[in-house]
Structure 1
């Protein structure tokens, strides 16, 4: 049984904690919270609560929330720590993990150098096996890796041009924006292109635009393959991956609003859409050129990757066995609508 500590219980941390609890070969030792808020109160009924250090104890005690220990205690009790702390904090935490000899899974907000390897289950699981640390690439990069790896492994990818329409912030965040603007990234390519190359060696250029929405990201991808294909070939490649869900606009799934409503109809925990969503009726093929549109649920698409990263670091399962176990536990691919 792999003992997992969750350092950080925000958007990603809380979802990874729930996913780990569903695995037959893992257990959550505890979670780290910094504030005795409503999230901590709910979590305390399911998980042992830890705090960063002793200076946080009084606030939790005053709030009536029982604390089991501090972060250093959790680290000593864990085989792997999933670091889901705010961007940049993971790098600061690295010395603690190394000193304690505990393995660590970092998130995509950290620079690639924070870990031994960057991680995506489909494209580079084996490179993380037995390593001390891995960084699960960002939600956008995970989405890019899923669809492009499907194409690259089947047909070979020569070049990709991608436009990324990013959500402004997460649904529970009332402070960030923009509210009434489209905010382009003035750095071209955007950081997504070099980030993708840490897990999938393809030639790619990306531009990114932040939009006033909280639901999902949208990617518009134009791919040049190394050989000519038919539309049916591309659809088949996408359909072969459980972590890709095909939808059709003609069925009413014409925006990210309907995609998230579909997640609710599927009965998903927190209405999460772990799969990358691709509009089947928007896939266009002409010789070696393939164009398609995909949607990324930024709150949850990296969750299964975190679970697989834990197994890779521990060397406890081979790639396909881990993906199968994770997908089964989260019902990923169990409700494919098409394909």
Structure 2
């Protein structure tokens, strides 16, 4: 069976990781990546020997690439014509403009969380609503925080049902290497409810969700506390069992040295994961407590990499590579090297 041909538009924080993730899928072929200028990521790609073909999304910048001897395989339009589906990881708003190009050539596309929901036919999550994405032309992923939050809530909901969640998000202020947010020494509170809670209800409309978000002057990972009202009361041990069954959730313990977001980032680097990435969200065993019949826990969101598996799920759904949800996410997990985690 021929491999599905995939292109990536935007070779930034997410685009780099999408390219790597697609390249690992044995039933997909990464045709190439596109960007507008020789950014540091593109320069690193060249220094690594150009493992991926590079296409120019802004042909008028050709001389900038020529000056650095960076080979260009063609234009973004050329790339689009040679793929079955595009993963659009461009800056917010650019994807909506690129959509017109995708439509012109009858190509499907997957957009990231920064785009408006109106850009897509379906607001998509691999575990929670895979079936709604089947055969659709345009899918939009949830943000990194919402992606991880839905993983955890969906994991519980499919076992015992969830009626309501209340969340608090301690949000990293910028990605590593970013300077546009400035140098800060403050916490900033957003107006409630946070968009992550609203987005969860869009994906899982049967759950009542609300939340508060606090920006923190750190760069490696968000932390979310979740207070869940379940339809059946569950014990801490049962909840841990549910989480450990899920390949995209890693159970960790404070006792073992996982003290926070920085511990998890360092652990990912010690594992040898490229860029210190971790596809899994992490839940702290010691954070799980009861509040009456409700249950509370805290999760870590590796914001640069946790959406990669769901993007690949979206390819599988849009192209109907697998109609069964668990078969699809299982293949994504397998090719990414993820395994059900039984604790560290």
Q: TM-score range by the shorter chain?
A: over 0.9
1:93-152, CA deviations, whole angstroms, 9 ceiling, x for partnerless residues?
111111110000000111111111011111111110111011111000001100000111
Aligned equivalents of 1:120, 1:269: Cα separation in 2: 24
Aligned equivalents of 2:253, 2:160: Cα separation in 1: 24
The answer as to whether partners of 1:217 and 1:297 remain within 8 angstroms in 2 is yes
1:328 aligned residue = 334
Compared with structure 1, are the counterparts of its residues 140 and 152 closer, same or farther at alpha carbon in structure 2 (3 Å cutoff)?
same
SS of 1:109 mapped into structure 2: coil
2:65 aligned residue = 60
Aligned equivalents of 1:228, 1:286: Cα separation in 2: 11
SS of 1:5 mapped into structure 2: strand
Aligned equivalents of 1:321, 1:84: Cα separation in 2: 26
Aligned equivalents of 2:183, 2:42: Cα separation in 1: 29
Aligned equivalents of 1:330, 1:270: Cα separation in 2: 15
Instruction: Figure out how many residues of one structure are paired with residues of the other and give that number.
Output: 337
The answer as to whether partners of 1:79 and 1:103 remain within 8 angstroms in 2 is yes
Among residues 245, 249, 254, which one is paired with 2:254 in the alignment?
249
RMSD: 1.4
2:18 aligned residue = 16
2:227 aligned residue = 222
SS of 2:21 mapped into structure 1: helix
1:232 aligned residue = 237
1:171-209, CA deviations, whole angstroms, 9 ceiling, x for partnerless residues?
0212324611111112x1011112112222211001101
The answer as to whether partners of 1:311 and 1:322 remain within 8 angstroms in 2 is yes
TM-score normalised by L of structure 2 = 0.94
Q: Where do 1:131-170 residues align within 5 Å?
A: 131-170=136-175
1:337 aligned residue = 343
1:270 aligned residue = 275
Aligned equivalents of 1:59, 1:269: Cα separation in 2: 28
SS of 1:144 mapped into structure 2: helix
Cα displacement (A) at 1:41: 2.8
Is 1:190 the counterpart of 2:194 in the alignment? yes
Among residues 311, 314, 320, which one is paired with 1:309 in the alignment?
314
Aligned equivalents of 1:22, 1:225: Cα separation in 2: 37
1:105 aligned residue = 110
Compared with structure 1, are the counterparts of its residues 237 and 334 closer, same or farther at alpha carbon in structure 2 (3 Å cutoff)?
closer
SS of 1:29 mapped into structure 2: strand
SS of 2:129 mapped into structure 1: helix
Q: Where do 1:199-218 residues align within 5 Å?
A: 199-201=203-205, 202-218=207-223
Is 1:258 the counterpart of 2:263 in the alignment? yes
The answer as to whether partners of 1:230 and 1:287 remain within 8 angstroms in 2 is no
Cα displacement (A) at 1:328: 1.7
Aligned equivalents of 2:337, 2:5: Cα separation in 1: 23
Segments of 5+ residues of structure 1 without an aligned counterpart are none
Q: Where do 1:64-83 residues align within 5 Å?
A: 64-83=69-88
Aligned equivalents of 1:230, 1:62: Cα separation in 2: 62
Segments of 5+ residues of structure 2 without an aligned counterpart are none
The answer as to whether partners of 1:219 and 1:295 remain within 8 angstroms in 2 is yes
2:32 aligned residue = 30
TM-score normalised by L of structure 1 = 0.96
Aligned equivalents of 1:262, 1:41: Cα separation in 2: 27
Cα displacement (A) at 1:264: 1.7
Q: Where do 1:2-13 residues align within 5 Å?
A: 2-13=4-15
1:232-272, CA deviations, whole angstroms, 9 ceiling, x for partnerless residues?
12111111111000000011111111111121222212111
The answer as to whether partners of 1:5 and 1:30 remain within 8 angstroms in 2 is yes
The answer as to whether partners of 1:30 and 1:48 remain within 8 angstroms in 2 is yes
